[in-house]
Chains A and B, each alone.
Chain A
Amino acid sequence: MINSWKALGVTLASFTRKKVTAEYPKEHLPVDERYMGFPALLWDSSRDEPFCTGCMVCVRYCPTQCMKAEMHDNPKFASGDSHRRKIIETFEINLNRCILCGICVDVCNFDAIEMSHEHELAGRGRNDQRVDLPQLLAMGRKYQTETGWKPSKPNALSPKEKEAQAAAAAAQASETPATPRPAPLITPATAPMTAVATASAAQLLDPATTVRPAHIPPAPDMGDSQDKEAAAG
Chain B
Amino acid sequence: MTNIRNTRLDTPEESRPNAGLPSVHGPQVLTRDPRLLTGTVGGTTGGTTEHSGTPHTPALARSPQTLDLMLNMGPQHPATHGVFRMELAIDGEQVVDLIPHIGYLHRGSEKLCEHEIYSQIITLFDRLDYVSNFNNELGLVLAVEKLMSIEVPERASYIRMVLCELNRIASHLLFAGTFALDAGALTPSLYTFRDREKIQAIFEATSGARMMHNFFRVGGIKEDVAEDFGARVTQLLSELDRGIDEVDHILTFGEVFLARTKGVGVINGPDAVDWGLSGPALRASNVPYDVRVYEPYCLYDHVEFGVPVGSQGDTWDRYYTRILEMRESVGIVRQCLGQMKPGPIMAPLRRIARPPKGEVYAHAENPRGDFGVYIVSDGGEKPYRLKVRPPSYCNLMALRDLVVGQYIADAVVILGSLDIVLGEVDR
Contact = CB atoms under 8 A, between A and B. Distances in A.
B205 A34 contact: yes
Interface stretch (B207-215, B285-293, B416-424): B207-215
Contact size class for B? Answer: 20 to 34
B123 A115 contact: no
A101 B352 contact: no
Interface stretch (B37-45, B89-97, B114-122, B398-406): B114-122
B208 A99 contact: no
Contacts of A101: 120, 123, 212, 214
B381 A34 contact: no
Contact of A61 (B120, B201, B206, B380): B120
B202 to A, nearest CB: 10
A226 B207 CA distance: 25
Contacts of B201: 32
Contact of B351 (A36, A63, A115, A226): A226
Contacts, number: 52
Contact of B117 (A33, A61, A99): A61
B212 to A, nearest CB: 7
| Residue among A32, A35, A230 facing the most chain B CB atoms (10 A cut-off) | A32
Contacts of A100: 209, 212
A33 B351 CA distance: 25
Interface in B294-332: none
A146 to B, nearest CB: 15
Interface in A185-233: 226, 229-230, 233
From DSSP, what is the main secondary structure of chain B's interface residues?
Answer: loop
A229 B351 CA distance: 10
Contact of B208 (A61, A63, A102, A103): A102
A36 B208 contact: yes
Contacts of B354: 233
B226 interface: yes
Contacts of B117: 61
B120 A36 contact: no
B212 A99 contact: yes
Contacts of B380: 233
B222 interface: yes
From DSSP, what is the main secondary structure of chain A's interface residues?
Answer: loop
B352 A229 contact: yes
Nearest to A226: B351
Given A34-B205, A36-B209, A63-B116, A230 B123 contact: no
Contacts of B208: 32, 34-36, 102, 115
B119 A103 contact: yes
B293 to A, nearest CB: 33
A131 interface: no
A230 B205 contact: no
A226 B351 CA distance: 9
Interface in A95-121: 99-103, 106-107, 115
Contact of A233 (B116, B226, B381): B381
Interface of B: 116-117, 119-120, 123-124, 201, 204-209, 212, 214, 222, 226, 350-352, 354, 380-381
21 contacts: A32-B204, A32-B208, A33-B226, A34-B205, A34-B208, A34-B226, A35-B209, A36-B207, A61-B120, A63-B120, A99-B123, A99-B212, A100-B212, A101-B120, A101-B212, A103-B119, A103-B123, A107-B351, A229-B350, A229-B352, A233-B380
Given A61-B120, A63-B116, A101-B120, 14 more contacts: A35-B209, A36-B207, A36-B208, A36-B209, A61-B117, A99-B123, A100-B209, A100-B212, A101-B123, A102-B214, A102-B222, A106-B119, A115-B208, A233-B381
